[in-house]
Structures are given as structure tokens and as C-alpha cells.
Amino acid sequence: MDPIEKTLSRLGEQLHGRLSMPGSDRYAAATAIWARPVGYMPRAVAHCRTNADVQSAIQAAREADLALSVRGGGHDWAGRALCGGLVIDLSCMNSTIVAADRRSARIGGGATASDVLGVTEPCGLVPVTGSCGAVGMAGFTLGGGYGPCIGRFGLALDNLLAVEIVLADGRIVTADEMNAVELFWALRGGGGNFGVVTAMQCRLHESPRLWSGMLLFPFSEARGVLEGCTHLAASAPDELSIQLGIMMSDESVPMVMIAPTWCGPAERGEDLIAPFHKLGTVLVSTIAEMSSRDRLGLFASHIVNGQRVFLETCWLPAIDSRSVDAMIEVMAAAVSPGCAIITHAFRGAASRIPVEATAFGLRRDHVLVEILASFADRSDCIEEHRHRQWAHDARRAFDAIALPGGYPNFLPRGDGERAAKSYGRNAERLTRVKRHFDPTNLFCSAIPLPALASAQTTA
């Protein structure tokens, strides 16, 4: 038995058989993530239930010099949940416990947004989540966390109160505003670069009754609809956020999408959203009063596990005539129904946090642009090239008007230059924290960091 096999065998005993290898059903389930991995698969998956399990897995990876990654929700376009070595699977650590004072909840490191809302919403409470129920709360929160209520509640990381983390040296640390303060600062924006987050304490809010849904308009009306939407958004209160974009129908016909969300007093929602119906010819409307769990399902039909996924991103100061022109030009050249451009607003409460308060590097009003190209994997090199090239060209179309950097949760592996620009004046401090808590870069599969990103390559 070679040293790696010996180490993994011992780890399997420590985990009481919860170590799976290629060919097993449990391995297949753990590696069946949104973005189908290409070119590498894990040597083993450690299905952890406790902090002690995580400690054992980290020790095994260090002893055998195995690449290490952490699978929470597994919803990451770059496949960072998997590596060619050992994967720590936290999907069993997905509990949510509402605190006695009902102001916060302890959320397990493997919990998805749907897991959490399934517990909190019946209590009339919600954390900050994004737009997809399958997204892991830990990765979403630690990297930033844009959501439909961002103007009222801020980023997900602005609502993070404490983190329980297993470090590279095996220590279990609680980081918050009073303990391990520098680590807590870095975790809010620096992602999973410092250890394995096994639990988070997140602020809860009284569950707003949302007015939300999706409006679809003909592509021929794109300019008028998008510019009209931008005009309405300019005077919107913090409680109203608007996602807009252009998506492809199953028949490969582009359609303009507007997804407004009102999270203020329910009686005002219908009136505030009504003007969006008048922007053009409404082909489809799903606007209704709904719960936060209902809102998570808005894009569910467009998200299928096992796809090949390419994603590009940029930040824009705002949506204006130039960015509308770029969106129209890009989507006119889309190569399949899996192509889309979707925006995420950053405003209100999120913009009022000082940039030095957390590691997140951009605290001015802006718009996050998500450029998505996905297709069913059939080992087709031509399709891969077409989709990758379209996504690349789409981002380049925004270069002249984009802000420096981009959303760290969406950046590709190894993109150190853009990572440095993304964190701005927080970059140097963030790098110091990384070197202190993970000097050997054991957690290199996480989102890219400045100066260290060159080491964050596919393992």
C-alpha cells in the first residue's frame, strides 16, 4: 500500500467508513455539482459530520500532500468544490438553529439557501440569500452575497455575526467582532481561503412579504425596455431592487428580462412594480406576492446540474445607454439557449458600509454583470470553444465602461490581477491575513486572492 492509500485508509477508519472513492454511489452524488468538472476528479471524498471529522481530513491531506477542497453547496461555475485530491464534503453539516432571541441563526457549513429558509421562514424570519436555492450559504456569504433585498439588508457578509472555522493547522477558532478579529475581517469577503467554515452565525430579519417575479419582453424592444427600467430604478427606494438582463428562450430567441423585488410594506408592492409592466410588450409575467422561498425558485428552471459552464463578470458604475448597447450587441451573437446576461444591483444599505470595515473591496453603488454560457456536456470541443469564446467576448464588450476588477465569487481560478483590483485598498491586508493563517496555501481551491492567485490552479 502506497503512503497516500495508507493515509486515506486511516482517514476512512477515523470517519467510520464515511470516505468514498470513485465508483461508489456516495462519491457520485458528492461530485454531481452544477458545473460539470473536466480533466480531474477527486481521489477521495470525506463526508464530514463534525469538526473532528474536518480536522482528520485536513491532517490527512497535509500528511499525504494531497490537494484539498471544500464542498458546501457545490454551486460554483469554476468547480472549486472539487479538486484532484481530497474533498471535504460538508453536505451533512447543513443544520439551521434559530437563536432563542430570534435575531440570528447558526447555519451549518453545508447548508444551502433552501435548507436555511426551510427552517427560518416558518418562524417569520429570513437571512440574506441570493436568487437560487441550491447555492451554499457559506460560499455565498464569505465571498460577498448579492441578493434581491440588498438595498434594505446589505450583502450577506454584512449580516455575518460569527464564524466557526477549522484552520490549516487543525485548530478550531470562533471569529467575530471580539475574537480573532483580523480573521473575521478577512472572512467577510475573502471566501474560503483561511480554513473550513463549519458553521456561521447570521443575522435574521423579519420575513418581508415580497412582491417579485419575472417580466419578459421581446428582444426587438430591448433598448426602450432596458433604458426605461434604468430610469425607474434611479428613483427607487432601498426596498426595491431590480435584476435585468437578456436571456435565450428554448427556441434560441433572445428575450429581455426584468425581475423587480419589493421587500418593504406589502401594501405598497403592487403599485411600485406596476410601472415596469408598461415598459413594453409583456410576453410573460410571473409578478405576484410571494415568500422568500418562492423567490428562490424564480430561476430554478434555468439551473441544471452537470452542465458545462463558463462565466465572465464585471462591475459597471450603472446601467446606461452604452451598457445597454453592449448587452444588445452581445446577446444578438449568443451561441445557444444557455447564454444569458443578468445583472445584480449593489445599493442602499450595502453601499453605506465603509470599505475598510470588511475585506469586500467595492462599496459604492454599482451593478454586477453576470455573463453565463452553459450547455449540456457531450465532450464536444467545438461547443466548448464557442461558449467559452462568446463569454470572453461578451465581457470584453464592457471593458471600456467597467470598473476595475470584478466580483470575487465569480472570478476564474488564478486571476490574480483582477483579484487585486477587486479588493482595492484591502488587498494588501487580506494577503497578510492569508499568509498568517494559511502560510502553505492549503486552501488554494477557494476564490482567487491577490498575489496568491497564481498558485490557485486546477489541482
pLDDT per residue as tens digits for the range 80-131: 999 999 999 999 999 999 999 999 999 999 999 999 999 999 999 999 999 9
E-assigned strands of 109-170?
125-126, 160-166
Report whether pLDDT(453) > 60: no
How far apart are alpha carbons 267 and 261 in whole angstroms? 14
Residue 365's pLDDT is: 98
How far apart are alpha carbons 75 and 88 in whole angstroms? 15
Q: Which three cell numbers stand for residue 66?
A: 494531497
pLDDT class of 376 with cuts at 50, 70, 90? confident
Residue 302's pLDDT is: 67
Residue 414's pLDDT is: 85
Report whether pLDDT(459) > 60: no
pLDDT per residue as tens digits for the range 257-282: 999 999 999 999 999 999 999 999 99
Domain limits, the chain:
3-89, 96-207, 210-410
Give the chain's largest Cα–Cα span. 70
User: What percent of the chain has a predicted confidence (pLDDT) above 70?
Assistant: 97
CATH of 3-89, one of 3.30.43.10, 3.40.718.10, 3.40.50.300, 3.30.420.40: 3.30.43.10
How far apart are alpha carbons 437 and 268 in whole angstroms? 48
Residue 1's pLDDT is: 72
How far apart are alpha carbons 440 and 168 in whole angstroms? 9
Report whether pLDDT(38) > 90: no
Higher-pLDDT residue of 412 and 301 is 412
Contact 44, 5 (CB under 8 A): no
**For the chain, how far is it from start to end, CA to CA, in angstroms?**
23
pLDDT per residue as tens digits for the range 334-375: 999 999 999 999 999 999 999 999 999 999 999 999 999 999
- Domain covering 96-207: architecture: 2-Layer Sandwich (3.30)
Contact 20, 47 (CB under 8 A): yes
What CATH number is given for 210-410 in this structure?
3.40.462.20
Residue 378's pLDDT is: 67
CA atoms within 13 A on the CB side of 6: 6
Residue 349's pLDDT is: 98
pLDDT class of 458 with cuts at 50, 70, 90? very low
Q: Rounded to 5 degrees, what are φ and ψ at 251?
A: -90, 15
Tell the residue number behind the cell numbers 405598497, with chain if given. Answer: 268
Residues in the chain: 459
pLDDT per residue as tens digits for the range 313-343: 999 999 999 999 999 999 999 999 999 999 9
Residue 456's pLDDT is: 46
Residue 305's pLDDT is: 76
Residue 452's pLDDT is: 57
Own/partner pairs, 302-306, CB within 8 angstroms, 24+ separation: 302/247, 302/340, 303/34, 303/75, 303/132, 303/134, 305/32, 305/33, 305/34, 306/32, 306/34, 306/36, 306/376, 306/377
Contact 32, 99 (CB under 8 A): no
- What mean pLDDT is reported for the chain? 94
How far apart are alpha carbons 136 and 442 in whole angstroms? 21
How far apart are alpha carbons 222 and 117 in whole angstroms? 35
Residue 231's pLDDT is: 95
